[in-house]
Structure 1
C-alpha cells in the first residue's frame, strides 16, 4: 500500500518523582469515540497546530510547544517549555490507519502542580501511574495501549527518577523509528532498532496493537 503523508504530532512524558519507588508518569485514556487508538492509554499530546509555529523556527521547536499545549488542554497540567528533553520520534510506515510523525519529550512534574483536571472530549481520565504498574495493567487486560506506547513504557520502567530518564535520553540519539515486519523463528514480528535505548525491540505481529 502507499503511505499517506504523516501528520506532525507531539507527546509529553511527565515524570513525578516519589519518595520510594519509581517515578509516576502522567497518562490519559483516549475517548472510545476517537478514530485513532480509541480507548487506549497514552501520554498526553496531539497534532502540531499552526499556533505552535508562531514562535518556533524548527519542527522540533513547534513539536515541543504542541506537547506543552496539548498536555495543558487535556489534563490542566502546565509544564514549562524550558524543562523539556527530547526522548524519541516515532513515524510508522505501511499501516492502514492514520499516520503520525510523533516527537516524544520528557519533562519533570512542576513542584507546584495541582490536581489533574481531565477535559471531557480530550480524554476519559488522567492519572499518575508508574510505568511498571501500567505495563502490568496492560498485560492483565485491564488497559490497552498501542505498540509505541508499550515500547516507551518498557524503556521508562528502567528508571528510578526523572534525572535517570533525562540522562538516558541525552545519551541516546533521537532517530525516526519506523517499525518493520521481520520473520523470527517462523513468526512475523514487529521490530524496532536495537541501539536507541529500548529494552524490548520486537513483538509478535499478531499480538501488537498498532492502532
Structure 2
C-alpha cells in the first residue's frame, strides 16, 4: 500500500487522547469527543478527540523524566495529560491526592501557568504515564493545509467515568460522550462533522467491546506513521491508508473526504 512510515520533520508535533468510560449495561464503551471552535484554523467546527500540539515545555519535561520512554515519546504523552486537563477538566496520567475540587483548581492553575510541571509541583502530583497506551500516529500531509500535524493518538480509561467535564469555551465549544458507532451514525445524519483521520479511528474503535479489547489491539499492532495517499488505479481517486494497521476501512472516495 502507498502509505509511508517515515516521520517528516515539517509536521507539527501533536498528540490526542481517546478517553473511554463504561457504557450502558451490556453496551459498548463510550468515548469523549469535543467540538472544536469554528474560529480554529485546524478542524474548526469538527468533532475530534481532546488534544493539541506538543509545547516546548512538554519536551523539556519529557527530557527530564528518564526511564524507559524516549524523551520525544514522553513529551507527547505529557502533552495529552496537559491538554486533557486544559480542555476537559479531567485528570488522566497523574497520581497523588486527586479529587474533583483539586482537579478544578489544577485546571485553573494550568490556565495561569501554561505548564504541566508547575501543576505537578503545586499539587504534589506525579506523572503516571502507564495509564496511557499508544494507539496510532497520523500525518495527513496536504499541501493545501496551512498547518500540517504529525499526531500521535493514545488511549486511556476512566472506568465508570463519574466525573465532571466542561469545555474550555476557547478551543472547544462542546464536550460529549458517545459510542464510536454513535459518533459515526451522528456524522451520517449530518449532526457532527468528521475529518478523515477521526472517521477512520472511530471505525477502528467501533470494533471493540470494551477498553481492554482496544488496549490489547493497540499493544499487539506496532504504531506506524500513517500518511494517507491518493490512489488512482481504480479509475476513481481514492484516499488510502495502510491495510495492516488495525483499521477496518482503509480507503474512501477522495471527493467525499472531509479534511481539516
TM-score range, shorter chain: over 0.9
Structure 2 residue 218 is matched with structure 1 residue 165:
no
1:56 Cα shift?
1.1
Contact 1:116 1:127 in 2 (8 A): no
1:118 Cα shift?
1.0
Contact 2:21 2:161 in 1 (8 A): no
Residue 16 of structure 1 aligns with which residue?
Answer: 21
Structure 1, residues 96-147: CA drift from partner, whole Å, max 9, x if none? 1110010100000165752211111021101111000000011111110100
Aligned runs of 1:39-118 on 2, under 5 Å?
Answer: 39-57=45-63, 58-80=71-93, 81-97=129-145, 98-109=147-158, 113-118=162-167
Contact 1:4 1:99 in 2 (8 A): no
TM-score, normalised to structure 1, is 0.94
Paired residue secondary structure (2:232): strand
What stretches of structure 1 move > 2 A for 4+ residues in a row? 110-113
Contact 2:22 2:161 in 1 (8 A): no
- Evaluate the alpha carbon distance shift between residue 129 and residue 193 of structure 1 in structure 2; reply closer, same or farther with a 3 A threshold: same
Contact 1:30 1:39 in 2 (8 A): yes
Structure 2 residues not aligned, in runs of 5+: 1-7, 64-70, 94-128
- Evaluate the alpha carbon distance shift between residue 112 and residue 144 of structure 1 in structure 2; reply closer, same or farther with a 3 A threshold: closer
Structure 2 residue 139 is matched with structure 1 residue 126:
no
Alpha-carbon separation, structure 2, partners of 1:152 and 1:184: 25
- Evaluate the alpha carbon distance shift between residue 113 and residue 60 of structure 1 in structure 2; reply closer, same or farther with a 3 A threshold: farther
- Evaluate the alpha carbon distance shift between residue 5 and residue 53 of structure 1 in structure 2; reply closer, same or farther with a 3 A threshold: same
**Number of aligned residue pairs:** 209
Alpha-carbon separation, structure 1, partners of 2:37 and 2:206: 25
Alpha-carbon separation, structure 2, partners of 1:95 and 1:83: 36
Alpha-carbon separation, structure 2, partners of 1:88 and 1:23: 19
Structure 2 residue 56 is matched with structure 1 residue 7:
no
Residues 175-184 or 194-203, more deviating: 175-184
TM-score, normalised to structure 2, is 0.77
Alpha-carbon separation, structure 2, partners of 1:191 and 1:161: 27
Contact 1:60 1:103 in 2 (8 A): no
1:95 Cα shift?
3.0
Residue 103 of structure 2 aligns with which residue?
Answer: none
Between structures 1 and 2, the one with greater strand share? 1
Residue 197 of structure 2 aligns with which residue?
Answer: 148
Structure 1 residues not aligned, in runs of 5+: none
